[in-house]
Structure 1
Amino acid sequence: MSDTDPSNYVRTRSQDGRGDVRWPAAPEPLAVPVYDNHAHLEIEDGDEPLTLDVQLERAVDVGVIGVVQAGGDIESSRWSAWAAASHPRVLAAVAIHPNEAPAYEEAGRLDEAIAVIDELAAQPRVRAIGETGLDFFRTEKDGFAAQFRSFEAHIDLAKKHGLAMQIHDRDAHDAVLDTLDRVGAPDRTVFHCFSGDDAMARIAAERGYYLSFAGNVTFKNAQNLRDALAVTPLERILVETDAPFLTPIPHRGRPNAPYLVPVTVRFMAAELGVDLDAFCVQLAANTVAVYGSFEG
């Protein structure tokens, strides 16, 4: 991929051993529109790959009027910035994913990669640094130092550019919270695909962080996420797909996309016992509070 034409970049998710990879039917549209706060639309998936335009059209048809497209390395971050610059319904987050940071470090390119993120972050429709953070599940201990160095550099970039930050946190809850305390969190900090419990949710909300819930909040084995949702103030809740991953029940295992956000939103509203339309109003307001207007 050339530096000047990121639109050519694409990744393909493996279909091996996944069973049914057909796109689920569209859910009933939401009466009050919302946004998908985190997706990876550069990844092709399903029995029929969907273009970015088709993804956005399907989303709008069910009341999902904007998507925050997240990067995780140099190439996907450039694509995310291009998508946001090219489509009024897309805003971008750019970063080096914590699981990618050790490889960049080993190749002697981590500083170069962070410099690319710094450059992309100056673009007007790049509204977040993300996803960044710590992952002690997929990275071995010898890669932790690179993750910490990268995370702290990304925190600095979010502050430098006045952007929100989307955190990837897997099996690293205490270390993430401690790092934010030690370094100082950006004004708008989001735990993307929140994976903690109710105790962590209380701590995060008390510190002014946002918790973004994905389709896995619907999974039977995810009571910890439902407990966390229950104690999170409504003004700190966001919703996302993490597409093409984490497809909500009843479509778990099939491809995910922004047009399936209504499935998760309806589940969350029911869990919280709140009016669906009022909940959507709050979710939309929270998104704009974090990332700014999609029209700007």
Structure 2
Amino acid sequence: MTYAQQRSGDGRKDLRYPAAPEPLAVPMYDNHAHLEIVDGDEPLSLTEQLDRAEAVGIVGVVQASGDVESSRWAVDAAASDPRVLAAVAIHPNDAPGYAADGMLDAAIATIDELAAHPRVRAIGETGLDFFRTGPEGHAAQFASFEAHIALAKKHGIAMQIHDRDAHDAVLETLVRVGAPERTVFHCFSGDDEMARICADAGHYLSFAGNITFKNAQNLRDALKVTPPERILIETDAPFLTPVPLRGRPNAPYLVPITLRFMAAELGIDVDEFATQVAANTLAVYGSFED
């Protein structure tokens, strides 16, 4: 499934957005969402999404991208609302299609141009996906990934990695090519051993609502060995809605559910944990007010 196909919906169009959770006392951020994807029975505009998030203490969202169209959308959103920062990229599952059409270099050149915008604070999401793309598309994925790494370094901004069934290849590429200074494993999907490797390399691990899933013990184990200063939180909205709302549309205003779950797993105060994760987010992406 390409990024564009994901944007067409996932069979949940007749569902309503859940009720808002109890607000957080400490201002927090969603460091990876796809707010251009319309979902649910009552689709929300960008402003409505951000207003709902702000009402529960989520004061900023990093809008991630996966193709040229969504990257332009992200830049426009970040330019229009100070609660949004943008990440721009070609998704690894889209890279083979661009390459087959002879358009991968042109698409990456467009990402390069967009990355120069002051509200673009990351290249993402990029990386490798061996689950949805077979061996015939791996060469294009590697070429795209390495080009995106170069763009993050060129523009001095963070990089958000999409890694699915490609852990070893992603880590090897980062070592071989050299990772950007601020590298984020979006929707971290590894285990505690991989978490240690990433943290030792100075990377950030971003956890999503799937850490609450019954079958995600590997993510909970990974969380517990990750240094607090390397932890980020995201929704990947409208996907990966946390338990007990799994299967309904996700949105940034549901971050408090995942954050409280993670704090409980770590056995620490929610406000203390939120303060640390918020500081981590600003360290990676910079101020939303600039």
TM-score range, shorter chain: over 0.9
* Structure 1 CA distance for aligned equivalents of residues 14 and 35 of structure 2: 20
Please report how far the alpha carbon of residue 15 of structure 1 lies from its aligned counterpart in structure 2 after TM superposition: 6.1
Alignment correspondent of 1:5? none
Please report how far the alpha carbon of residue 132 of structure 1 lies from its aligned counterpart in structure 2 after TM superposition: 0.1
Alignment correspondent of 2:225? 231
* Unaligned residue ranges in structure 1 (runs of 5+): 1-9
Alignment correspondent of 1:201? 195
CA contact 1:12–1:44 (8 Å) conserved in 2? no
* Structure 1 CA distance for aligned equivalents of residues 276 and 97 of structure 2: 39
2:208 is aligned with 1:214? yes
- Counting aligned pairs with the same residue, the percent is 78
2:115 is aligned with 1:117? no
| 1:191-237 Cα deviation digits (max 9, x unpaired) | 00000000000000000000000000000000000000000000000
- Of 231, 234, 256, the residue aligned with 1:240 is 234
Alignment correspondent of 2:24? 30
Q: Residues 31, 155 of structure 1: CA spacing in aligned structure 2 closer, same or farther, 3 A cutoff? A: same
Task: Show the 5 A alignment for 1:254-273.
Answer: 254-273=248-267
Question: Taking structure 1 as the reference length, what is the TM-score of the superposition?
Answer: 0.95
Please report how far the alpha carbon of residue 21 of structure 1 lies from its aligned counterpart in structure 2 after TM superposition: 1.5
Alignment correspondent of 1:7? none
- Of 142, 146, 152, the residue aligned with 2:146 is 152
**Equivalent residue of 2:60, what SS?**
strand
Alignment correspondent of 1:64? 58
Alignment correspondent of 1:104? 98
| 1:213-263 Cα deviation digits (max 9, x unpaired) | 000000000000000000000000000000000000000000000000000
Please report how far the alpha carbon of residue 52 of structure 1 lies from its aligned counterpart in structure 2 after TM superposition: 0.2
* Structure 1 CA distance for aligned equivalents of residues 289 and 277 of structure 2: 17
* Structure 2 CA distance for aligned equivalents of residues 16 and 217 of structure 1: 20
* Structure 1 CA distance for aligned equivalents of residues 170 and 10 of structure 2: 33
2:288 is aligned with 1:294? yes
**Equivalent residue of 2:78, what SS?**
helix
* Unaligned residue ranges in structure 2 (runs of 5+): none
Task: Show the 5 A alignment for 1:43-192.
Answer: 43-192=37-186
**Aligned letter for 2:271?**
D
- Of 247, 253, 271, the residue aligned with 1:277 is 271
Alignment correspondent of 1:6? none
CA contact 1:11–1:43 (8 Å) conserved in 2? no
* Structure 2 CA distance for aligned equivalents of residues 155 and 31 of structure 1: 36
4+ residue segments displaced more than 2 Å: 10-20
CA contact 1:11–1:42 (8 Å) conserved in 2? no
Question: Taking structure 2 as the reference length, what is the TM-score of the superposition?
Answer: 0.97
